[in-house]
Chain A
Amino acid sequence: MNAVDAALMVERLRVEFPVLGGKPKVAVRDLDLSILPGEILGLVGESGAGKTTLARAILNLPPPPGRIVAGVIQFDGKDLLRLSERELQSIRVRNISMVVPNPRGELNPLVPVGEQLASIARVHLGKDKSSARAMALEMLRAVQIPDPERRMRAYPHELSGGMAQRVVIAIALMCSPRFIISDDATSGLDVTVQAQILELLSHLARKQGSAMLFITRDIGITAHFCDRVAVIYRGEIMEIAPRESFFLSPRHPYTMLLLAAFLHNPQLRQAWTHPDASLRVNPDAGIGCAYTYRCPRAREMCHTIRPPLAERTSGHFVRCHFPLERE
């Protein structure tokens, strides 16, 4: 894909965590990813797969003690990994923003939410006091907070979890960013509230024309809110495809395992699980396929040769020597 077309392009990104007296642990392994303008890309993975590390690395804020050791993050003609902290600060919030879970931890407990919103408009958009306030009110209305005039004066502890998450979304969208990263933003919410928040987030992103990297543990969400879906396992993209192709003809054994978790047929669930999958751990040697030790299809070469992320059908990429063949 051409760098000019993409809203954001990650190339050969590698993030490592130092290990005392040992080789560093690779959290994101030479990862390539590009997201089109206005596109919502779902990124699914289990805990420890490197989702959050990737999200933070895109903002050039790898979670300490992690370090970005290689790669390029192309945004707006610039490589975010080569910018000064000052240049980065103006890009974060204004052009790229992030929505995280645990909304109360993100909000300042001592400042009314209206003021928190208005200060963003003043600092980042250079608005004066009254138009910043008007913008904040409009944003609270956009995220469908009932009685927004009154809520402007509310402190974060006076809001329910769902309301606080709406405020965090309002903050993230305040500057109409071209790129939004949602990192498990709905994981702490109840299902009925989650559905409302998801709809709101995708609706506003589409309305503003923002591209979004939607990170989640729940593969079900991506089937309904994303244009393309990627699966990440141990810091590598294993499969990435347009939504229909991904769910109607999944090809990677790991994707099959994730989908099989929804099945009621115990034989089929079993079929995609290695007999003692949870008891086996891959040696982190960096050679061979990362999924080998949990894969029911693994053969000799899977242990020694790392498969490339290869395009199998149009736009459908799979990192597997023996992907499922489909007509």
Chain B
Amino acid sequence: MSVILEVEDLYKRFPVSGSRRYVQAINGVTFSVAAGETLGLVGESGSGKTTVGRCIVGLTELSAGRIRFKGEDISRPRARWPRHLLSKIQLVFQEPGESLDPRMQIGRSIEEPLLALKVAPSERRARAADAIERVGLGREMLELYPAELSAGQQQRVAIARAMITSPELVVLDEPTSALDPTARAEIIALLMKIQAELGTSYLFISHDLSTVRFISHRVAVMYLGMIVEQGGVDKVFAGPRHPYSAGLLSAVLLPHPHFSLESNIRLEGEIPSPINLPQGCFLASRCPLAIAHCRQEMPPPDNLGGGHIVHCWRHRDVAGMDRASDTFAEFQREAERILAEQKPTASICNLEGTPDG
């Protein structure tokens, strides 16, 4: 698979108003996304994952580093990008209600990205109609206003608007966090369907690990503006090598009383302030494995092969502590058994909800 997005040693700091200090939001982030691939970017609030997304789409100017899209440098605000790239990279925000203009009909919102590309009005309307059908809504909805839609429908509209320019890369910033679990599942299924049909690459930003695991091919775990571990989704979830990844995973609550992801690694306290970054490894103050060396020197990246990269002095000990079995996979098998026991529509009824004789 060819790489379409390369992010190299990205830094971003924001000045704190009224002082000479800085919020150090991103502290040296390197990763890439291949064509047709989904990279999940996970982390807690304040980890800098949203800022990474905004730098990539050119809404936030980076402080240092380089971003390339298919070899072309895009490390600058979107307004200064070459025109042909504007349609290629799109962004979907977390709050669908806030990203749509409440006074604009859905159809106008969806075709808006085409204005910058100087597409003729008739073609704009035709493409908006195609786009809304692609996300599973009817053409008649083009004339509605955002307030007339549910949150899940609004997020479908936001996706339709992002997809209308046929982008090759979509940055999805917590697209499902504001939704109920069932609407969330529908949106994830929709995104995967679009990817299968069009080969779009996704950078999927989320704090929800079960969703990330489901949709991503690879995953990058962020903490205080750094990617502490990245690799294939199965590798990282089955055998996390960074204590922070292990701690995040152990906090996931699966809906089955017998499947607990609890590991021996429990994180204490909360994320430190990005204004006063700690010396050495950023996790040292919360990490049960921290030794004196961790507090003095930042661990370098260690390549474990197959693209699995970890930044931790003690990752070998993490590997030894964690259970080899993949609780996620075991849970999936058990949950499938429970839910498959009876076919929901078997003989009892048909899908229309009418009696079947």
Question: Chain A interface (Cβ within 8 Å of chain B)?
Answer: 46-47, 146, 160, 162-163, 190-195, 217-224, 243-244, 247-250, 253, 256-266, 268-279, 292-293, 295-300, 302-303, 322, 324-326
**B121 interface hit (Cβ, 8 Å):** no
* Contacts A190-B271, A247-B256, A273-B186 supplied; 15 other A-B pairs, CB < 8 Å: A190-B44, A192-B44, A193-B44, A195-B251, A195-B253, A217-B180, A220-B253, A250-B338, A257-B182, A264-B332, A265-B336, A295-B353, A296-B345, A322-B348, A325-B342
A147 and B189 alpha carbons, distance in the complex (Å): 47
Residues of A within 8 A of B137 (CB): 279
A178 and B138 alpha carbons, distance in the complex (Å): 51
**B16 interface hit (Cβ, 8 Å):** no
In this complex, what residue of B is CB-closest to A218?
A: B253
Q: How far is the CB of B276 from chain A (nearest CB, A)?
A: 14
| Chain B 334-353: CB-based contact to A (< 8 A → 1; otherwise 0) | 01101111111100110101
**B45 interface hit (Cβ, 8 Å):** yes
Q: Report whether B349 and A162 are in contact in the complex, using a CB–CB cutoff of 8 Å.
A: no
Residues of A within 8 A of B254 (CB): 220, 223, 262
Q: Report whether B345 and A271 are in contact in the complex, using a CB–CB cutoff of 8 Å.
A: yes
The A interface is mostly helix, strand or loop, or mixed, namely helix
Q: Report whether B182 and A46 are in contact in the complex, using a CB–CB cutoff of 8 Å.
A: yes
Question: Chain B interface (Cβ within 8 Å of chain A)?
Answer: 44-45, 136-138, 150-153, 180-186, 189, 192, 207, 209-210, 213-214, 247-248, 250-257, 260, 267, 269-271, 332, 335-336, 338-345, 348-349, 351, 353-356
In this complex, what residue of B is CB-closest to A266?
A: B189
Q: Report whether B210 and A262 are in contact in the complex, using a CB–CB cutoff of 8 Å.
A: yes
* Residue of A221, A265, A303 most packed against chain B (CB within 10 A): A265
In this complex, what residue of B is CB-closest to A301?
A: B355
Residues of B within 8 A of A269 (CB): 185, 189
Q: How far is the CB of B1 from chain A (nearest CB, A)?
A: 22
The 3 closest A-B pairs by CB, nearest first: A220-B253, A190-B44, A46-B180
A223 and B45 alpha carbons, distance in the complex (Å): 25
Residues of A within 8 A of B340 (CB): 268
Residues of B within 8 A of A244 (CB): 257
Q: How far is the CB of B330 from chain A (nearest CB, A)?
A: 12
Q: How far is the CB of B8 from chain A (nearest CB, A)?
A: 28
Q: How far is the CB of B66 from chain A (nearest CB, A)?
A: 30
